[in-house]
Structure formats: structure tokens, C-alpha cells
Amino acid sequence: MTIRQVGIVGAGQMGNGIAHVFALSGYDVMMNDINEDALRSAVALIDKNLERQVLKEAISTADKAAAMSRIKTTTALAELGPSDLIIEAATERETIKTAIFEDLLPHIKPETILTSNTSSISITRLASRTDRPEKFLGFHFMNPVPIMQLVELIRGIATDEATFNSCKEVVDRLGKTAATAEDFPAFIVNRILMPMINEAIYTLYEGVGSVQSIDTSLKLGANHPMGPLELADFIGLDTCLAIMNVLHDGLADTKYRPCPLLTKYVEAGWLGRKTKRGFYDYSGDKPVPTR
């Protein structure tokens, strides 16, 4: 099918980035969130990020204006009904995602493709709770969406070839690169990345190095653009913990056991940049290590 209209559920960090790239690529976007303020903030952020691209001469002023005109917002999930493709980008909790898909089903067209931007949850299991497992796919963007080039496409056990091909064509039109992943816990990127971050937290927990020394070591010793603890704060420690729990539960291997220090930080509400405190304190002009 030809995809022209795209519905996005969730106006947070991932949702607004996905809306940005789709609108810039010529798709009509309807962005949904239960919070009107979140929608307003998302639109303002998209406008700011597009303006940054204009200043860098990556796009023209006309491109920005056209992209902004293609973005509509709503707090009513039913208004996503006319969408050809829906991308769920809500909180990384299976119960929330399942409830969203169940609420969407009465309103969407028979041919609408449903996808999830989940970073770890089983696509097969999410698809099984809908009326169209053959038209369900994992559509995992990397953060920040406008900058990162990769999109993981994850087939569930029932996903048909037409659905996969339609979504692959969308990725190509967005100017990004698709990597095909099988439906195993955390797929490819997070299956490799999250245990590395978890190990860095264990290294801190066991006193092998400080926050500063661990991040400096990986940046200068492994040529990583960002240290693992800095990256964990950027992703969100609650998201890191959720993915490690999916890996630990799904693969039943002790090497995926979340570090107790990660759990403790999440229990304290120290989730990283979004709460202004994680492995770094972000309340001042410059991030300061908290350990």
C-alpha cells in the first residue's frame, strides 16, 4: 500500500523526533498524546530543531514551513483512524503499549499497518493482541531520531512480506538505513549496547573507577563519542533498567542481571537528563558527576 498519512502515539523524546523526520520527508503526520502540554512542547521542539537545520543550511526555510504545516496534534486516539501507518512511541511498558493498540483497533482502516518503536519488547506478543498480526512490525528508531541514521525493522512471527516491504520503503524515503532484526529480546542494538552500559554501572558499583574515569576511558580508549554512563543518562536510566529486565527475563541468563546501582538510581527517581540527575547532576551550567 502507498503510505501517505502517519499516526504517531506519544509526543515524548522519540515521538517528536519521529514526527520531525516524517513531516520533513513529505508525510502528513497526526501526533497523539494524552497530555496537551506534551503536544505543545513537542511541536515547539520540532520547530526549534528544524530551525537549527535551516541555520546549518541542511534544509531551506520553505522546507521547514512545509514540514511544520504537515504536523497536526490530538489528544483523541480515535483521530489517528485515517492513518495508513501508525507508530506507537509510548513509554517502554508492555501493558501501556498493549492498551494503546486495543484502543486503536475500533477506529483504524483494515489495511492500516501497526508498528511499535519498542526498544526491547516482543513484537510477536504485541502483535498477538491486535486483529492484524500480519500487518504488525517493530519500527525501532534510534535517539535522537533526526540525527541517527539507523532504523531496526523487526518482523513478528506473523508479519507478512508486504508489510515489511512497505515499511522498508518508508525508511528509504526518510533517507535512513534499515537493519533487519529477528524478534528476540532487545533485538540487535540494545542487545549489545545495554549490557555494555550495565557493565559500566557494575564497574562504578564495584569501585573500579569513578563516573569521570569510566566515561573518559571509553571515550579515549575505545573511541566512543559518549561515555557509557553519560549515554545511560541521555537514554534514561528507567529505560535502561526496563531493557535489562527484558533481556534478563527473556533470555534467562545471569549475564543480563541489572546492576543493583542502576535499580537504586531508578528507585530514587534519578533517571538522567530528564530529571536533571543521574550519574551526572544537570542542575548547573555543566554536568557534574554524582559519584
Percent of the chain with pLDDT over 70: 100
- Could you list the residue range(s) of the whole structural domain that residue 40 is in? 5-182
Residues 61 and 149 in one domain: yes
Residue type at 122?
A: S
Q: Which of 116, 119, 120, 122 is an active site residue? A: 119
Q: Looking at residue 92, what is its pLDDT?
A: 87
Last residue of a domain, one of 182, 208, 230: 182
pLDDT digits (tens, 9 = 90+) for 51-95: 999 999 999 999 999 999 999 999 999 999 999 999 999 988 899
How many separate domains does the chain show? 2
The stretch 233-240 carries a mean pLDDT of: 94
Residues 148 and 261 in one domain: no
Helices (H), the chain: 13-24, 36-55, 61-69, 94-104, 123-128, 161-173, 189-205, 211-221, 228-235, 237-251, 260-268
Q: Looking at residue 122, what is its pLDDT?
A: 95
The reply to whether 36 belongs to the active site is no
Q: Does the pLDDT of residue 1 top 90, yes or no?
A: no
Q: Which residues are documented as binding site for NAD(+)?
A: 10-15, 33, 92, 97, 119, 143, 274
Q: Which of 83, 140, 198, 230 is an active site residue? A: 140
The stretch 185-207 carries a mean pLDDT of: 97
pLDDT digits (tens, 9 = 90+) for 46-63: 999 999 999 999 999 999
C-alpha triplet 214, 215, 221: angle, nearest 5°: 85
The reply to whether 35 belongs to the active site is no
Q: Which of 32, 152, 166, 230 is an active site residue? A: 152
User: Rounded to two decimals, what is the model's pTM?
Assistant: 0.90
The stretch 133-162 carries a mean pLDDT of: 97
Residues 73 and 172 in one domain: yes
Q: Which of 117, 190, 198, 230 is an active site residue? A: 190
Residues 161 and 17 in one domain: yes
Q: Which residues are documented as binding site?
A: 10-15, 33, 92, 97, 119, 143, 274
Helix (H) or strand (E) holding 141: strand 136-141
Residues 77 and 206 in one domain: no
Residues 105 and 142 in one domain: yes
The reply to whether 119 belongs to the active site is yes
Residues 34 and 163 in one domain: yes
